[in-house]
Amino acid sequence: MGFHILVLAGGSGTRLWPLSRAGTPKHLLPLGPAGVSLLRATLERVQGLGDSVHVVTAAAQADRCREELVAAGMPGDAVIAEPVARGTGPALGLAVAWLAREDPGALVASVHADHRIGDPAAYRAAVVAAAGWAAGTGDLATVGLTPLKPATGLGYIALGAMRDAALWKRPGGAPEQALVEAQGLPAYRSAGFREKPPAEVAEEYVAGGNHLWNLGLFAWRAPVFRELLRAAAPGVAATVDAVVEKRAQGDEAGATAAYASLDGVAIEPLVLERGAPLTVVRASFSWSDLGSWSDLHAARVESGEVDTAGNVVQGDATAVGAADCTVISRGGRLVTVVGATGLVVVDTPDALLVVPEERAQDVKLVVERLRSAGRDGVL
């Protein structure tokens, strides 16, 4: 049984529009340390953590992901491509089925390519911890963080009884330092999910101290996951198995047609929220899913990438008498912001965004309106 890492690199590039687009979604933007892409930063973070690392992405992004693998010093062919984007549920079903061809008992950890992590060592230990619980209990496992605020755009996991540390099993292939740190992390049975609760419920969760943020970072043994997928969504399980078989036979057209018949759905409602046995590891590291321009600004502040007034200024841009602004020029012209507070200004060759930071989540409404108007060329 090998230990394999899957890096989910999907997304259509809406939440950081106009910088992110369908062809250059968030994980391919240079938002990682030292200006590397978030995908490359993730690959470097999990490199050497297990026996293999694969990127799971849509076929349209596969070539760019191969380039990032090579840039990170990894094999460029380690890509498992969805024929068309169908969400993390079918994507993980496909990826696990593909790995199981060569390693039926595979131990698998799934991480996201577009998250910003402040403590890579603690992150690596958490991934190994989740894998160890999946290996030792036969449950699915996940990693949660203590919520810092009542965020309504994130999922929450309720904590049940603490797990017995004697059940944890060392994942083969993981480095010794990560193994040592992993064994010190507490773990609990999950008592349920709540996705994106209203503000008053999120406030109760934060005050109560019995809920963790769901990071979408999971681990499982391949046969356990495949059995749970067959029980929860037999049609999805049968389809991904058919896709794997058709690809093995060289029938990519047949694989695409079969996979395209699936509906898009995340892994949480597809499997995890249907009563699947789940162990939750409580971890502690700085994290952001960079889900909006305000999240990106906060991450830059935390890492010290701001001027003395708290402004993030990139490209041919300047801020005068301004505070806590994001000013990005990618359109080939000078952009200036004067006397503003908490403003986001992003200039690209074909689109300009100006939005108060507190309304940054509403950028998705702009994208929806542009899509409805048939403005696909700017998306």
What's the mean pLDDT in 58-81? 94
For residue 238, what pLDDT band results from cuts at 50, 70 and 90? very high
Q: CA-CA distance, 377 to 379, in Å (whole number)?
A: 6
Question: CA–CA distance from 276 to each of 164, 186, 205, 328 (Å)?
Answer: 19, 20, 22, 44
Share of the chain above pLDDT 90, in %: 83
For residue 23, what pLDDT band results from cuts at 50, 70 and 90? confident
Q: Is the pTM of this model over 0.75?
A: yes
pLDDT of residue 43: 97
Q: CA-CA distance, 125 to 119, in Å (whole number)?
A: 10
pLDDT tens digits, 114-141: 999 989 999 999 999 999 999 999 999 9
255 with 164, same domain: the answer is yes
pLDDT tens digits, 149-173: 898 888 999 999 999 999 999 998 8
For residue 24, what pLDDT band results from cuts at 50, 70 and 90? confident
- Higher-confidence residue of 22 and 233: namely 233
pLDDT of residue 210: 94
- Side chain identity, residue 30: P
298 with 283, same domain: the answer is no
Is residue 17 over pLDDT 80? yes
269 with 347, same domain: the answer is no
Alpha-helical runs (H) found in 191-251: 199-208, 222-232, 234-248
Q: Are 351 and 341 in contact (CB under 8 A)?
A: no
For residue 279, what pLDDT band results from cuts at 50, 70 and 90? very high
206 with 126, same domain: the answer is yes
The mean pLDDT of the chain is 93
231 with 255, same domain: the answer is yes
What's the mean pLDDT in 19-24? 88
For residue 291, what pLDDT band results from cuts at 50, 70 and 90? confident
Q: Are 129 and 143 in contact (CB under 8 A)?
A: yes
Is residue 359 over pLDDT 90? yes
Count how many Cα atoms sit within 13 Å of the Cα of residue 153 in the half-sphere of its side chain. 12
pLDDT of residue 132: 96
Is residue 35 over pLDDT 90? no
Question: CA–CA distance from 263 to each of 80, 81, 233, 235, 243 (Å)?
Answer: 19, 17, 11, 10, 15
pLDDT of residue 341: 97
Domain count, the chain: 2
163 with 238, same domain: the answer is yes
Mutual angle of helices 88-102 and 234-248, in 10-degree steps: 50
Q: Are 309 and 272 in contact (CB under 8 A)?
A: no
Share of the chain above pLDDT 70, in %: 100
Least confident window among 92-106, 134-148, 290-304, 341-355: 290-304
Q: Considering 288, 319, 353, which residue would you say is the last residue of a domain?
A: 288
88 with 154, same domain: the answer is yes
185 with 126, same domain: the answer is yes
Q: CA-CA distance, 141 to 162, in Å (whole number)?
A: 13
Q: Considering 249, 270, 288, which residue would you say is the last residue of a domain?
A: 288
93 with 193, same domain: the answer is yes
The CATH number that applies at residue 68 is 3.90.550.10
Residue in 224, 171, 225, 186 with CA at minimum distance from that of residue 49: 171
Domain around 310: 293-378
96 with 242, same domain: the answer is yes
Q: CA-CA distance, 218 to 27, in Å (whole number)?
A: 19
Q: Considering 265, 288, 311, which residue would you say is the last residue of a domain?
A: 288
192 with 238, same domain: the answer is yes
Distance of CA 223 to the CA centre of its chain: 23
Q: Residue 317 has which token pair?
A: 């841009």
What's the mean pLDDT in 14-33? 89
316 with 351, same domain: the answer is yes
